[in-house]
Amino acid sequence: MGRKPNPEVPERILQQAEHLIHLRGYNATTLDEIARCCKMTKANLFHHYTCKEQLALAVLDAKIRDYQQRRVSPLCAEGDPAEAVGRMFAEAGRHYTGNGCKAGCFVANIAIEMSDVNELFRKRTSLFFKGWADNMAACLKKCRDKGVFTEGLDPKAAAEAIISLYEGAILLARTHRDPTVFTRVGKLARQLLDSHKTTTRRKTNMGPKTPCGC
């Protein structure tokens, strides 16, 4: 009777592959390196994942699930969407201060590197960013309908602008090794929403607590 498969092995492979791909990128990471970090042979690695693309897509799917569960899905609770956006940038500033502004956003890194050469990666990353924008826009629309924002606020455009500012701030912070970028850009992102607030805001419980972060 054969040995039962160890469920921890695939998880260890995903973790090591994610770490290497995040730091080096897809093309610069080899299966030999991943196998070595997992303390296994390449043949054993192939037992779980038949090729590098399959493994990298599994890593990407796992990262997307993690981002969606912990950061992307807005929690409509008592609060101010503009404050929530400010917190999103502040938390990113603390995170990138802690890691020396390295690595960046895993999903964005894959999107930049792979979108023009591999449709599977492009479609997965596109769905992630579309879902993020759609969820944030839905919360902003609810707030607009509740009277928090004026009718002049375009929820979809605002959500896409905030995400663009956020991802751009990650790129600049990483390039300059300067986490203070998040303070400056976050202030601008918050002003984008503050400028559309009604003068007399009615009490609402539809403000997103955490619009997201990547």
The residues that bridge with 76 in the sheet, in sequence order, are 208
Residues paired with residue 135 on neighbouring β-strands, in sequence order? none
pLDDT digits (tens, 9 = 90+) for 159-171: 999 999 999 999 9
Q: How confident is the model at residue 213 (pLDDT cuts 50, 70, 90)?
A: low
Which residues lie across from 99 on neighbouring strands?
Answer: none
Asked if pLDDT for residue 149 goes beyond 60, the answer is yes
User: Which pLDDT value is given to residue 36?
Assistant: 95
The DSSP annotation for 13-29 comes to HHHHHHHHHHHH-STT-
pLDDT at 211: 52
* Percent of the chain surpassing pLDDT 70: 85
**Quick check: 136 and 208 in contact, CB under 8 A?**
yes
Query: Cα–Cα distances in Å, from 30 out to 8, 26, 27, 36, 37?
Result: 21, 8, 8, 10, 11
Distance CA 104, CA 101 (A): 7
Q: State how far the Cα of 198 lies from the Cα of 149, in Å rounded to an integer.
A: 5
Looking at the chain, the whole-number percentage of residues with pLDDT higher than 90 is 77
> What is the per-residue pLDDT across 92-112, written as a single tens digit (0 to 9) for each?
999 999 999 999 999 999 999
Q: Are 37 and 58 in contact (CB under 8 A)?
A: no
What is the pLDDT, as a whole number, of residue 200?
54
Note the pLDDT of residue 158: 97
* Domain residue limits, the chain: 74-214
In 3D space, the residue among 210, 174, 172 whose CA is nearest the CA of residue 99 turns out to be: 174
pLDDT at position 66 is 86
Name the CATH superfamily for 74-214: Tetracycline Repressor, domain 2 (1.10.357.10)
What are 126's two structure tokens?
């596109």
Question: What's the mean per-residue pLDDT of the chain?
Answer: 88
Predicted TM-score (pTM) above 0.85? yes
